[in-house]
Structure 1
Amino acid sequence: MLAIQGLTKIFPAPAGEVVALRDIRLEIGPGRLVTFIGPSGCGKSTLLKIAAGLDASYEGSITLDGRPIEGPSVEKGVIFQEPRLFPWWTVEKNIAANASLRDAAVRRRVGELIELVRLKGFEKAYPSELSGGMAQRVAIARALLRRPKVLLLDEPFGALDAFTRAHMQEVLLDIWQSDRTTMLFVTHDLDEAVFLGQQVVIMNPRPGHIRRVVSVDLPYPRQRTGAPFQEIRGVVLREFEKVEEAPVPDPGAGI
């Protein structure tokens, strides 16, 4: 269980304080896949950094299984838009990272992940030999190595072409359905948010706060062209249009 209560994040600025997030309240149960969508600057990435333990200067609380998140840990995996692979390491070594492939348990886990992310046969390939989608699959596998309780994904498919992006969404769902790792997925793509998420969290402009949480009660795999999908997409789109029309607060204003 990831529980966020009254979370407010303020950045210092020359013209005064900038309130990035205000009074975020959200509970995400174990094994849930939740997507976040909102205009640029609404604090989605900031929220993920706090959940990852990469930023501890905030008001309110955020806990994982009842324990405060006080810093990075193996319980939380993070995936960014860029794969950030080591170019001098092979696929299997990038997945193992600082763990030794001489360890039988590590080798076994790396092998499982290579199968899971559909990279069988590319174990000895280097990042320069991979496509963008393949490189991102390596990054996902690396984040899953130590079986984190929560996987935090910050627009991981944003730099990919439409075909590769759709393929990667299918791969991610395969991974989630296999491991049932709790996932928080930030995106700017409305279709992606509805296609992946069991819930879609729609955020207002800065200071970012939750406008609405839309449940997506559709079975997987989802048909994007089907009427049920389009109906829920319409609900999310209408809420998002209201967000886009809302006035943006003064960035120098206090809470």
Structure 2
Amino acid sequence: MTEPLLKIRGLNKTFQTGKGVVHALANVSLNVKEGEFITVIGPSGCGKSTLLKIIAGLDTKYYGEALLGDEWIKGPGIDKGFIFQEPRLFPWLTVEKNIAADLSLRDPAVRAKVSELIELVRLTGFEKSYPRELSGGMAQRVAIARALLRNPKVLLLDEPFGALDAFTRSHMQEVLIDIWQKNKTTMIFVTHDIDEAVFLANRIVILKPRPGSIRTIVPVDLPFPRKKSTSSFQELRYKVLSEFEKIEELELIDSSGI
């Protein structure tokens, strides 16, 4: 049996605030296989982004285990790509230079890789464009290409399409699936959108709040390309929605003191 690429064991995370200690994550355990596409959803404040930042090495103050391959995650590195909610491009650099980042396009290998990524994210013809000349979806594609430049073992995406309009968001979901299928990069994608979670994932990790822990993991066996209008898609969407309703019921019970 192949070892998981990512291993999370008994992960616990607390924050110290002015009102005391906040328990953000509690006993989270998760295995992710190489090449999987995992979506993570849950109510606001359940620790989705916190979990992603721990995997990225952006937060190392936690209890438990977090390993990528055979290595403990001790900090950020080129083996982990991270996509934020905003593209965070350099406004004074062109598309190709934003993708190359700190590497020189004078290097033939770098130029070839950047050209390959521009084609992969469907931006051919915009190599010399600046961020101000791009739409929101195009800018986010530049950010994805930049994160893939060094061939990370895992690509982590924190609600990257949340600020886009519905049409652009739907298009970007299709673009991302195309990138994943061609590039075979393991992806972990945080979202609030149930349709998005079902459309993208091999497995959906549903977190419950206070503190964040795994409610359930829903496998997604739908073939690609997926259509949101099909009965099989809607059945799976209903299953995930039902888990959210159970979480809401438990919260009502907790708040009422029953």
TM-score norm. by structure 2 comes to 0.95
Structure 1 residues 148 and 120: CA distance shift in structure 2, 3 A: same
Correspondence 1:212 to 2:216: yes
Q: Aligned equivalents of 2:252 and 2:108: distance in 1?
A: 54
Computed over aligned residues only, the root mean square deviation of the Cα atoms, in angstroms, reads: 1.2
Give the distance between the partners of 1:92 and 1:249, measured in 2 at CA.
53
CA contact (8 A) 1:150 1:183 kept: yes
**2:48 paired residue number:** 44
Q: Which residue of 1 aligns with 2:116?
A: 112
Using the TM superposition, give the Cα deviation of residue 248 of structure 1 relative to its aligned residue in structure 2, in angstroms. Answer: 7.9
Counterpart Cα distance in 1 of 2:150 and 2:253: 41
Can you give the 5+ residue segments of structure 1 that lack an aligned partner in the other structure? 251-255
- The superposition leaves residues 42-70 of structure 1 with CA deviations (integer Å, 9 ceiling, x where unpaired) of 00000000000001000000001121000
- Provide the rounded CA distance (Å) in 1 between the counterparts of 2:253 and 2:82: 30
Match of 1:180 among 175, 180, 184: 184
- Using the alignment, how far apart are the partners of 1:194 and 1:63 within structure 2? 26
Contact 1:206–1:249 (CA<8 Å) still a contact in 2? no
Q: What is the one-letter code of the residue matched to 2:104?
A: S
Greater alpha carbon shift after TM alignment, 103-112 vs 219-228: 219-228
Q: Distance in 1 between matches of 2:81 and 2:36?
A: 15
Q: Please state how far the C-alpha of 1:32 moved relative to its aligned partner.
A: 0.2
Offset, 1:240 = 1.1
Contact map agreement 1:34 1:198 (CA 8 A) in 2: yes
Mapped to 1, the partners of 2:41 and 2:22 lie a distance apart of 21
Alpha-carbon distance in structure 2 between the residues aligned to 1:173 and 1:30: 16
Aligned to 1:197: 201
SS of the residue corresponding to residue 87 of structure 2 reads: coil
- The answer to whether the 8 Å contact 1:151/1:183 transfers is yes
> Percent identity between the aligned chains?
67
**Count of paired positions:** 250
Alignment partner for residue 244 of structure 2, among 240, 243, 254?
A: 240
Mapped partners of 1:114, 1:206: distance in 2: 42
Of 136, 141, 144 in structure 2, the residue corresponding to residue 140 of structure 1 is 144
Distance apart, 1:13 and its partner CA: 1.8
The superposition leaves residues 66-109 of structure 1 with CA deviations (integer Å, 9 ceiling, x where unpaired) of 21000001000000110000000000000000010000000000
1:246 aligns to what SS in structure 2? helix
Matched residue of 2:105: which SS?
coil
**SS at the partner of 2:97?**
helix
Q: Which structure has the higher relative contact order (CA within 8 Å, separation 6+)? A: 1
Which residue identity is paired with 2:243? Answer: E
The equivalences for 1:60-75 within 5 A come to 60-75=64-79
Cα distance between partner residues in 2 of 1:209 and 1:58: 14
